[in-house]
Amino acid sequence: MNSYRQPGVVLTDRRFTVPLDHSDPGGEQIEVYGREAVATSRAGEELPWLVYLEGGPGFGARRFVGTEAWLGRALREFRVLLLDQRGTGLSTPANRQTLPLRGGPREQADYLAHFRSDSIVRDCELIRQRLTGGAPWTVLGQSFGGFCAVRYLSSAPEGLAAVLITGGLPSLDAHADDVYRAAYPRIQRKVAAHYARYPQDVERARAIAAHLAEHRTESAGHRLTPEGFQSLGIMLGSGSGSHQLHYLLENAFVRTPGGTELSDTFQEALRTAASFAGHPLYALLHEAIYGQGERPTAWAAERVRAEFPQFDAATALAGDGPVLFTGETIHPWHFDVDPALRPLRETAELLARRTDWPVLYDPERLAANEVPVAAAVYHDDMYVDTADALRTAAAIRGLRTWVTDEYEHDGVRAGGPRVLDRLLALVRDEI
């Protein structure tokens, strides 16, 4: 194990070998990485563990510098494990470069079926036994990490001392169609709020979408399209996202000897924001996280979008209405325009058609829950439906909610120590 220091914290690399398929513990093994963090002043002490599960799916744990965001608050009393969930970060990678080692698309899809929250929780339980000697630990789940935490409560509550969830209470039974049917109106509200704040962006967005529709545009092999441009709306779910989007749009065009063109600066920013090179599992598994039972997800976001024609860029450009941005939605065209996804198109199709997804949540076990649980619910969260979150909160015995409009979906990061402090006080009945 390698240990090293940053201001106020000692970090240690930890690697764990776990079964690819937990129903076959003697079969193929993969590696899962976790970064241990402990306050410099408490490095020699026996401390309870907190494991952090990042949002996603498909993102490794956030790379903090020192004690920024919520980490400093956690280090006052915990030894923290920042876990790179299987397939992400420094764990055995799953991407266009490595997945061909599995074989063809069918073998790749079967492999990736083991990368949902059920397998992540089984990984956590093996790791917990090795780190804590069997003592339960506290889980902090952000967004999809909260989905994993609810799976944890459904399948292995004996491993949990407490659960803290930020923006991540999933519906227990909604199909992906239901998720996106609720999502598009939320996205439209966020876009309307952005245009109300920055009315000059209405014409800028129309001009950019029109240019991309009329001119084939590529940046580093990534095809830039009106639909890809619309996907920048994913930024609107964070506290500063509207402002960041405005700054991105304000220098979209530049005058050249050949006329007005999209600036290199804007093209690079759009390509970077739209690329899945750093998190391909997000695109491959995003709808699969809602899969339960025999009904396929079948490109739910694409199919449901047809029910909301106001999101069609061509229709908007043919009239005088605004071009609406989209949000946390994955579409087949992502696998055509993005070189990081293009080789995985057939794999994605097989996952979309899959009809044997295990059920993830156990309502009876959740109704009998005895683990202290607290959840921050953001009152108009763009990524997780608030009504679904509150229904799930009511279905988990003893769960305490903090419903707030002070933060967007990234509150646990943007709020520094305040969000974690509030949730810890709730699970300890201090407030």
> What positions carry a catalytic annotation?
143, 356, 409
| Four-CA torsion 79, 80, 81, 84, nearest 10 degrees | -170
Tokens of 116: 């949902």
Q: Which amino acid is at 200?
A: Q
Answer for the pair 57, 115: CB distance below 8 angstroms, yes or no: yes
Instruction: Work out whether the CA dihedral 351, 356, 360, 363 comes out positive or negative.
Output: positive
Query: CA 242 to CA 354: how far, in whole Å?
Result: 36
Tokens of 272: 């970077």
Query: CA 170 to CA 389: how far, in whole Å?
Result: 6
Query: CA 220 to CA 222: how far, in whole Å?
Result: 6
Specify the residue for token string 């009998």: 368
Q: Is 264 exposed, middle or buried (0-12, 13-18, 19+ CB in 10 A)?
A: exposed
Alpha helix positions (H), 240-370: 241-249, 264-274, 280-285, 300-305, 313-318, 334-337, 345-353, 363-367
Query: CA 288 to CA 123: how far, in whole Å?
Result: 19
- What string of DSSP letters covers 326-349? --S---TTHHHH-TTTGGGHHHHH
Answer for the pair 372, 399: CB distance below 8 angstroms, yes or no: no
Query: CA 423 to CA 431: how far, in whole Å?
Result: 10
Query: CA 412 to CA 402: how far, in whole Å?
Result: 13
Q: What is the DSSP letter of 396?
A: S
Answer for the pair 16, 86: CB distance below 8 angstroms, yes or no: no
Q: Which residues of 197-230 are buried (b: 16+ CB within 10 A; e: fewer)?
A: ebeebeebbbbbbbbbbeeebebeebbbbbbbbb
The overall longest dimension of the chain from CA atoms, in Å, is 70
The phi and psi torsions of 153 (rounded to 5 degrees) equal -65, -30
